[in-house]
Chain A
Amino acid sequence: MDTVYLLDLFKKLLGGLPLTLNLAVFALLGGFAIALLLNLLRTTRIGNAVAGTYIFFFRGTPLLVQLFMIYFGLAQFEFVRSSFLWPLLREPYWCGLIALMLNDAAYTAEILRGGLRAVPRGAQEAARVSGMSRLQILRRVTLPIAVRQALPAYSNEIISMLKSTALVSMISLMDVTGIAREAVAETWRAVEIFLCAGLIYLVLSLIITRATSWAERALSPWQFGARQ
């Protein structure tokens, strides 16, 4: 195992990092927005059924199946190919991002629901009594408490999304894993290459763990002089 080769390999693999990060960040942002929407839907009876079915489907099936349904499955329909969405849906990047986003939304919705349930009713009642509008209550009372409660679970979801982006290499995208697979096909040095790629993901997930545990501490009540 020579150092020159390994350094070269790292440089090559890091070329996929922008795509990996891009997919993870936008999937998380989009997923969070859809998750909020799903939780708003939960307040009506029909909406509750819709959100429940969505979450049941996306949490009950492998991401790979969802990805292939979107990438290979949708292209087969004439009405998809002639629709305005086709310029997006024929690109592996958008198919990958959409699949990751929809998948993340289902998991995030459940995490958020747990956080929302943990908001004390008294806090919301106090806000209503002091004359806040529904939007103000949501923005100033409900969401801050819910997000803080959901943070530990959400940090796991961030890491799992980062790891899930590796699946886009199955639809020919050149993220870190995609580049690693190509390198293995050329050189057959599978152990070195996949370990190096793994190391990149590992460092990223350690950074995320650090950052979220810092955020958890920073957002804890005793930071603001409140009594525990």
Chain B
Amino acid sequence: MTSELYLLGFGPEGWGPVLARAGLMTLAVSLSAFLLGTVLGTLTVWGRVSGNPVTRRIAETYVVVLRGIPDLLVIFLFYFGGRQVVSLVGTALGFEGPFDISGFVAGMLAIGLISGAGQSEVLRGAYQAVPKGTLEAGRVVGMSRWQLFRRVTAPQAMVTAIPGMGNQWQSVIKESALVSVTGLVETMRQVSIAAGTTQEHFLFYTAAAVIYLIITTLSDQVFRMLERRSMAGYAGGSH
């Protein structure tokens, strides 16, 4: 196998450049899905704590459903189902087929939706950990609800949420490998293509493992640094 290592390099026969590009694609789809998840997660927490029984019900159902269905099925649903829906709408509007939706969009929506459910649990915990006194103090000095959220709740909750959000981000990276089923050329897809072309399956899947390990390890470092920084204002946390 060692003699085949040139296949991973950046030489004329090397797959290095395409693998690097695929790694960036993994990052791009993960990042957009994670951000979508953060928005959905925040909305979900708001729906749960706002005191409105209807929004609470919707938010709870969303979390239960998305935590009970395999990620792979959700991605299939968005990709093939999305195509079905787009075709239906397209034909109804009088456009000529065939219709298709992009693997990036379907993957981002599916993983964003999955991650939103997970992130909402982390964010809810963080919200509940915000000392009630600070909220009352904010209200007393006359802050509006938005000001209260932006100046009191969010800054404090963000600190408690960092480790949990780090875990959610790691999950998103690993789930992004499943987007390969849509044909989007991210790490997993690119590696499968390379393995099929060269018949060096073990070498290329190991390369994929290394790419994911690099991404997960580096992001772990980033989240640790964020955690240290954010603790700076707290007693015993100023490293």
Q: Cβ of A140 < 8 Å from any Cβ of B? A: no
Q: Which chain A residues lie closer than 8 Å to B70 at the CB level?
A: 163-166, 177, 198, 201
Give complex CA distance A68, B77 in Å.
23
Question: Is B69 a contact partner of A61 (Cβ separation < 8 A)?
Answer: no
Number of residue pairs spanning A and B whose beta carbons lie under 8 angstroms apart: 121
Question: Is B85 a contact partner of A191 (Cβ separation < 8 A)?
Answer: yes
**What range describes how many residues of A lie at the interface?**
35 or more
Q: Cβ of A72 < 8 Å from any Cβ of B? A: yes
Question: Is A69 a contact partner of B188 (Cβ separation < 8 A)?
Answer: no
Chain A: interface secondary structure? helix
Give complex CA distance A164, B174 in Å.
12
Question: Is A62 a contact partner of B177 (Cβ separation < 8 A)?
Answer: yes
Give complex CA distance A28, B204 in Å.
28
B79 to chain A, nearest CB (A): 8
Known interface pairs A64-B178, A65-B212; A198-B73 also in contact (CB < 8 Å): yes
Known interface pairs A159-B68, A190-B80; A68-B205 also in contact (CB < 8 Å): yes
Known interface pairs A64-B178, A191-B77; A73-B68 also in contact (CB < 8 Å): no
Report the nearest A residue to B210, measured CB to CB: A61
Q: Cβ of B148 < 8 Å from any Cβ of A? A: no
Q: Cβ of B72 < 8 Å from any Cβ of A? A: yes
Q: Which chain B residues lie closer than 8 Å to A180 at the CB level?
A: 73, 76
Q: Return the contact of A62 from the options B65, B174, B192 (Cβ within 8 A).
A: B174
Residues of B within 8 Å of A, CB-based: how many? 41
Q: Cβ of B81 < 8 Å from any Cβ of A? A: yes
Q: Cβ of B54 < 8 Å from any Cβ of A? A: no
Question: Is A190 a contact partner of B77 (Cβ separation < 8 A)?
Answer: yes
Q: Cβ of B33 < 8 Å from any Cβ of A? A: no
Q: Cβ of B202 < 8 Å from any Cβ of A? A: yes
Most buried by B among A62, A74, A170: A62
List of 5 A-B pairs having minimum Cβ-Cβ separation, nearest first = A73-B202, A190-B80, A166-B70, A62-B177, A205-B68
Q: A65-B208, A69-B202 are in contact. List 16 more A-B contacts (CB 8 A).
A: A60-B213, A61-B174, A61-B208, A62-B174, A72-B195, A72-B201, A166-B72, A167-B72, A169-B72, A177-B70, A180-B76, A188-B80, A189-B84, A191-B84, A198-B69, A201-B73
Residues of A within 8 A of B (CB): 56-57, 59-66, 68-69, 72-77, 159, 163-167, 169-170, 177, 180-181, 184, 188-191, 194-195, 197-198, 201-202, 204-206
Selected A-B contacts with CB under 8 Å, 9 pairs: A60-B213, A73-B202, A74-B202, A76-B202, A164-B70, A184-B80, A201-B69, A201-B73, A205-B67
